[in-house]
Amino acid sequence: MVLRRTPRWRTLGAALGVVSLGLALAPASAATPAHDAPEPAAERTVAGPTGDVQKSDNIRHVANMPKQEPFNTLNAYGTDIAFKGDHAYVGNYDGFVVYDIKNPTKPSIVTQVACPGGQGDVSISGNLLFVSVDYPRTNDTCTSESTTAADPNGWEGMRIYDVSNPAEPRYVSAISTDCGSHTNTLVPDKAGKDVYIYVSSYGPRAEFPGCQPPHDKISIIKVPLDNPAEPVLVDAPVLFPDGGNPGNGYTSATTGCHDITAFPEKDLAAGACMGDGVLFDISDREKPRVINQVRDDENFAFWHSATFNNEGTKVVFTDELGGGGAATCNEKTGPTRGANGIYDIAGSGADAKLEFRSYYKIPRFQEDTENCVAHNGSLIPTKSGDYMVQAWYQGGVSVWDFSDSANPKEIGYFDRTPFDPGKLEISGSWSAYYYNGYVYSSGIQDGLDVLEINDPRTNNAKNVRYEEFNPQTQPVYQR
């Protein structure tokens, strides 16, 4: 989600401190000091999903686990998901939630960690959980308070937890990054000793000491797996030395990246960088190199995220028109704006180029009280073809086929009627990912939904199993 950087303040919904279900954690260790959002709506609790469910016949709604106190407020947005074994780690603007998903028909909350900082993007490696902090705090602890980006002592960046016991996450360390961490991408090193975190952030201003323009870069953190208490900022490479997209009043100017998806086994990554779509060579993990850069100044407003197909020959880029807070899945907006862009990768190595093939947008108009736009999703690991499951906020969850890059089509969907029929509230599916036979959807207000796809085109994917899954770190699965 964009939540564009304007004057940086936000009072987060949950109580300060690390508490939940009786859990109390130690504060973070000291870290190098290091950043907005609209003012929150009036605080109120959310009882659970609202509206009626509409879905295709090949989708079964297996379960829902509503948001629980203290994350059951309107401003405690549920966000991204990382998976490890029988657990799902779901980010939240106010911390994160650990779910037991051993029985997908009966997910349960193991614990909740209240540690505000927005937007709570998560990645996991072994027993380490990495959580993004994108709003300036007075310090790196969970008892910090919100401050402004103009505060020279403000902090934002990455927090690291030990989740060897999922019921008792332990805060290990933190490290600051310029402009905070809107999203993060885990990239394992080739020796298996360290992991790298590519930090995407954006929105610089001259009056922000920790977020100075032009900010045409990302931050790269190296975390030794045997000593996660000592993360190191190894580089902050400038991706656009000649400047990114200047913007045109419709397409955003590029001042950083929103998200990067790594494909380690292919030594590739795809960056969604506000006004630019980027293909990287990441064979040297500490020195990602831009191979190709594309723009779509007519249809793409904000390059948001990216997904490769399994062969690494295609990239699906999402356009987050309206920052995730607008009704853009209506007739007025049309079929190409706020859609996915499907690109084939032609050539290889230094000669690889992204070539546009088509747009994909859900084929159902949504109400003007429903925020809706292309958002986070993942491949379905089928034996043939290219299939994806994807969140569309209040447009629900879409299952679609892009095997023919020029002619994508939807094959299934799950969609609730408006969260509030009387006015537009920020709600819907933030992230929807396929993991070990089921689709898990993180609802901004709806909690965790579990879906099952029963379709001959995708059923063979139910046999594919992962022990660990980060959607921004794509694995290669065997066809």
What's the pLDDT tens digit per position in 95-114?
A: 999 999 999 999 999 999 99
Predicted local distance difference test score (pLDDT) of residue 1? 60
pLDDT at 6: 31
Residue 60: CATH number of its domain: 2.130.10.10
- Residue 5 placed within a domain: no
Kindly tell me the sign of the dihedral angle through the C-alpha atoms of 34, 36, 42, 48. negative
Domain assignment present for 474: no
Bond prior to 70 in cis (omega within 30° of 0): yes
Name the β-bridge partners of 130.
123, 160
Q: Is the pLDDT of residue 23 over 70?
A: no
What is the domain count for the chain? 1
Asked if 50 contacts 158 with a C-beta cutoff of 8 angstroms, the reply is no
For residue 47, what pLDDT is reported? 76
Query: What are φ and ψ of residue 350, in 5° steps?
Result: -65, -15
Cα–Cα distance for residue pair 10/120, rounded to 1 Å: 14
Q: What is the mean pLDDT of residues 399-426?
A: 97
pLDDT tier at 7, thresholds 50, 70, 90: very low
**Taking Cα atoms as reference points, which of 268, 349, 347, 353 lies closest to residue 307?**
268
Whether 427 maps to a domain, the answer reads yes
- Full residue range of the structural domain in which residue 286 is found: 19-469
223/30: higher pLDDT: 223
Examine residue 11 and state whether it is found in any structural domain, yes or no.
no
Cis peptide before 116 (omega within 30 of 0): no
CA 48 to chain centre: 22
Q: What is the pLDDT of residues 216-239, one digit of tens each?
A: 999 999 999 999 999 999 999 999
403-413 mean pLDDT: 98
* Domain membership flag for residue 133: yes
- Tell me if 12 is assigned to some domain: no
Q: Over the stretch 269-302, which tens digit does the pLDDT of each residue have?
A: 999 999 999 999 999 999 999 999 999 999 999 9
Strands of 387-391's sheet in order across: 53-55, 409-416, 397-401, 387-391, 377-380
Q: Which tokens belong to 95?
A: 């911390």
> What was the pLDDT predicted at 349?
83
* Amino acid at position 12, single letter: L
Terminus-to-terminus CA distance in the chain, angstroms? 32
**Mean pLDDT, the chain, as a whole number?**
91
What are the pLDDT digits (tens) for 460-475? 999 999 999 999 999 9
Give the pLDDT of residue 346.
96
Does pTM surpass 0.85?
yes
Q: Which residues of 361-381 are buried (b: 16+ CB within 10 A; e: fewer)?
A: bbeeebeebbbbbbbbbbbbb
Chain-centroid distance of CA 133 in Å reads 13
* Among 37-46, 337-346, 406-415, the least confident range: 37-46
Residue 29 has pLDDT above 50, yes or no: no
Does residue 41 register a pLDDT over 60? no
Mean pLDDT of 33-43: 41
Q: What type of residue sits at position 134?
A: D
> For residue 7, is it within any domain?
no
Q: Is residue 197 part of a domain?
A: yes
Contact 183, 161 (CB under 8 A): no
Please report which confidence band the pLDDT of residue 116 belongs to, taking 50, 70 and 90 as the band edges: very high
pLDDT at 255: 97
